[in-house]
Amino acid sequence: MLEKIKALAKEYEREIVERRRYFHMNPETSWNEVETTKVIAEELKKLGCENVKTGFGETRCGVTADIGGGSKCVGLRADIDALPLNDEKDVPYKSQKPGVMHACGHDSHAAMLLGAAKILTRIKSDLKGKVRLLFQPAEEHGLKPGAQALIDGGALEGVSAVFGIHSMSTVPAGELQYRSGPFMAAADAWELVITGRGGHGSTPETSFDSNAAAFQVGSALQNIVSREISPKDAAVLSIGGVKSSSYVFNIIPERVEMVGSVRTFRAEVQDHVEEAMKRVVKGVSEAMRCKADIKYNRVIPATVNDSESTELVKSVAESLLGADKVKESELIMGSEDFSYFGRVVPSVFANLGVGNAAKKCDFPHHSAKFDVDESVLYLGAALHAAFAWSWLGKH
Binding site for Zn ion (CB under 5 A): 104
Shorter beta-carbon distance to Zn ion: residue 104 or 281:
104
Shorter beta-carbon distance to Zn ion: residue 33 or 274:
33
Least Å distance between CB 321 and Zn ion? 21
Please check whether residue 67 is in contact with residue 127, taking contact to mean a CB–CB distance below 8 angstroms. Answer: yes
Shorter beta-carbon distance to Zn ion: residue 146 or 253:
146
Cα-based angle 2, 4, 8 (whole degrees, multiple of 5): 115
Contacts of 18 by beta carbon, 8 Å cutoff, 6+ apart:
none
Shorter beta-carbon distance to Zn ion: residue 104 or 350:
104
Least Å distance between CB 309 and Zn ion? 20
Least Å distance between CB 170 and Zn ion? 12
Least Å distance between CB 350 and Zn ion? 13
Shorter beta-carbon distance to Zn ion: residue 44 or 104:
104
Least Å distance between CB 157 and Zn ion? 25
Shorter beta-carbon distance to Zn ion: residue 150 or 194:
150
Shorter beta-carbon distance to Zn ion: residue 201 or 334:
334
**Phi and psi, residue 282, nearest 5°:** -70, -50
Shorter beta-carbon distance to Zn ion: residue 63 or 104:
104
Q: How far apart are CA 239 and CA 227, in angstroms?
A: 17
Q: How many residues does the chain have?
A: 395
Least Å distance between CB 184 and Zn ion? 10
Least Å distance between CB 107 and Zn ion? 11
Least Å distance between CB 146 and Zn ion? 11
Least Å distance between CB 79 and Zn ion? 6
Q: How far apart are CA 321 and CA 177, in angstroms?
A: 11
Residue nearest to Zn ion (CB): 104
Q: How far is residue 262 from each of residues 140, 297, 315, measured CA to CA in Å?
A: 17, 10, 34
Shorter beta-carbon distance to Zn ion: residue 107 or 254:
107
Tell me, what amino acid is at 203? T
